[in-house]
Chains A and B, each alone.
Chain A
Amino acid sequence: MAVRERNNIYLPVKAEVVEKRHLSADVSLFTVRPDVPFDYRPGQFFMVSLWGAGEVPISVASLRKEGAKRSQQGGDLIEFCIRKAGKVTSLIHDVEKGGFLWIRGPYGRSFPLEYATGREMLVVGGGIGLAPLRPVIQWALRERNSIKKVSLLYGARTPDDLIFRDDLKRWAESGVNVVLTVDRATDGWDGNLGVVTTLWHKSEIDFREAVSFICGPEVMIRSAINDLFFFGMPEDRIITTLEAHMKCGVGKCGHCYAGRLYICTDGPVFSFREIKEHNLL
């Protein structure tokens, strides 16, 4: 019966919350252990739900361990970075360590990480947009021998809204060029001010040769991809991931439909070429 039921694409799997970490005032990182293993890649997302609350699409914020054993009891740990943004995500935030979430997935296209092999990699994030990019950087560090350079431009509204601060520190120590900025400084901030797209000169990247992975608010994505294209980065190597309202994650409910495509099954990862072709932004 269990096998039959797994054929039901809408049936979620139970996942125990083994750790919950507050990353900022309204963002938490949930580390869950699902009852069955999942194979997922950076850029993909899961439908995360609570019975009685509803389902929301959440991208994976962790990199799956290479060669993780499928036979062990339960699945590998998966991390979801969730912002308290509405009804469902607020109720999810009430779940503490030891509680349960229900997940199904992974869905969507992943980041074409192989584009980065032998090149420089530029990662541009804004706010909670760093969450889907985190496994990209983790992957780049794992594959550091085949990637020339990794540069991260990351901005948030205030210093307190910068998420994954431990990771940012660790990445900088591991050789990633981490450039941070905030819209509004608070006491003790002596770093950059302004939006990330004012910091291109600090990225130390040869734009024409590099590949970029971008995620953040729509205005940020829009200006970032236009700038990078202007600097000579080929449109196929400007990669971003888009957000949309979704109810199913599998191309049926119609909510994320945009210009012939479904963000859920045709995306959420798109190149600038695809965005222009289908008028997605």
Chain B
Amino acid sequence: MRSEWILPKGHLSYWLRQLRNRASLIAPLRVDGDIVFKSLENIHEVSLDNPALLPSPKEFLLPQQEGMFWTEGERIRPLLNKERRFIFGVRSCDVSALGLLDRFFLEGYGDPFYRERRRNTIFLSIVCNNPDPTCFCIGLGTGPYLEKGFDIQLTDLGDRYFVQAGNRQSQRLVRQWSFLFTTPRKVDYEDQYEVFLSSKARFQKRISLESVREYILAGKVRDSFWESVSERCFECGGCVYECPLCTCFTVTDRSYSFGTERVRLWDTCLFKGFTRMAGGVLPNEKRVLRTKRWYYHKLVHYPDVLGSFGCVGCGRCTVTCPGRIDMATIAIKLRDLQDNGR
């Protein structure tokens, strides 16, 4: 089955309008100066000239707070969210993150709440033709465009989009409105390739997490380094909440006069109480242990277990971190130490 098409730009809003009739359509919107992913009421509201840095669509699969069960007496109702969604305008780095989230949540014990949301969501991602100064996906192979792993990928070719469908479900979305699309010609492939190249050329940050990992595994990074990093940590949890790959949650029960809800909420390994055990014991009481844990999880353990870094180079922590101890800054610092032969 064919999986590549050309969509003239004038047809985009019509296509989106058709999609919106099938499911809720979520896209980046400008709200009071911020860009947020929201359900689209008016197709013309969709903002397409976004900076690369958008909120992570993680919240649509693992919401900041999500009801798991509702109970009244002995009757228990799982609160599975079956809403069908199209999420338009997602970045390649976030789609790469989804591939890892899928493996994390669905392998072994499958998470039913994630599975239900994932099954009902299709992501329409856009190739980044203008990366931000904070972006470093290029060093990780998680962007600015994807060879595989996407649902639908659009490349902006100026007056038209190059559309690629990565699976059958997505192919159907094009075939149902096939009259909007044309077959790519040689010039379209050439233009797409040119966009890829010019995008790659615009990255300002070139970071190899692989060499950072090797440096850490070689035992070259002393605890005093992590001490100095942790001294700058405000324990705000901003990096974790913004990270498309941070998935830790806590579970709590909320009781009302008419029933009880079991809820899960985002949680953060950077908080002291995160590992509090029965009787109040705190295994990670020292802040440096928590900071180190975050970096080790992403740089050392993630690759050990899933074969990829726990970072897709989206650069959100660079923007968020008030202490400037984000992934990119630390990676550059360690590279400098390494270059100086220390």
Interface residues of A (CB under 8 A from B): 5, 7-11, 14, 49, 51-56, 83, 85-86, 89, 100, 218, 243-245, 247-248, 250-257, 259-260, 265
Contacts and interface: CB of A to CB of B under 8 A. Distances in A.
A11 B255 contact: no
B111 A9 contact: yes
Contacts of B76: 11
Contacts of B301: 259-260
Given A53-B253, A54-B251, A255 B111 contact: no
B277 A254 contact: no
Given A83-B278, A253-B250, A253-B267, A260 B300 contact: yes
A223 to B, nearest CB: 17
B192 interface: no
Nearest to B281: A218
In the A-B complex, the 8 residue pairs with the closest CB atoms = A254-B248, A85-B278, A250-B109, A260-B301, A52-B255, A51-B260, A247-B251, A8-B112
Contacts, number: 95
Given A8-B112, A11-B69, A54-B253, 7 more contacts: A8-B78, A10-B68, A52-B253, A54-B251, A245-B277, A252-B105, A265-B109
B214 interface: no
Contact of A260 (B69, B104, B274, B305): B305
B249 interface: yes
A100 B267 CA distance: 29
Given A8-B78, A11-B76, A51-B71, A56 B278 contact: yes
Interface in B251-289: 251-253, 255, 260, 262, 264, 267, 269, 274-281, 283
B277 A5 contact: no
B109 A86 contact: no
Question: Which of A10, A51, A53, A248 is most buried by chain B, counting CB atoms within 10 A of its CB?
Answer: A51
B109 A257 contact: no
Given A8-B112, A56-B278, A253-B251, A14 B74 contact: yes
Contacts of A253: 248-251, 264, 267
B143 to A, nearest CB: 25
Interface string B213-257: 000000000000000000000000000000000011111110100
A252 B111 CA distance: 8
22 contacts: A9-B109, A10-B69, A11-B78, A51-B71, A51-B253, A52-B253, A52-B260, A54-B253, A55-B251, A85-B279, A218-B281, A244-B275, A245-B275, A245-B277, A247-B264, A250-B108, A252-B109, A256-B275, A260-B300, A260-B301, A260-B305, A265-B109
A247 B249 contact: yes
Given A51-B262, A254-B269, A10 B275 contact: no
A247 B110 contact: no
A11 B75 CA distance: 12
B251 A244 contact: no
Contacts of A52: 253, 255, 260
Contacts of B255: 51-52
Nearest to A254: B248
Contact of B250 (A5, A247, A250): A247
A260 B279 contact: no
Nearest to A53: B253
Contact of B267 (A7, A49, A254): A254
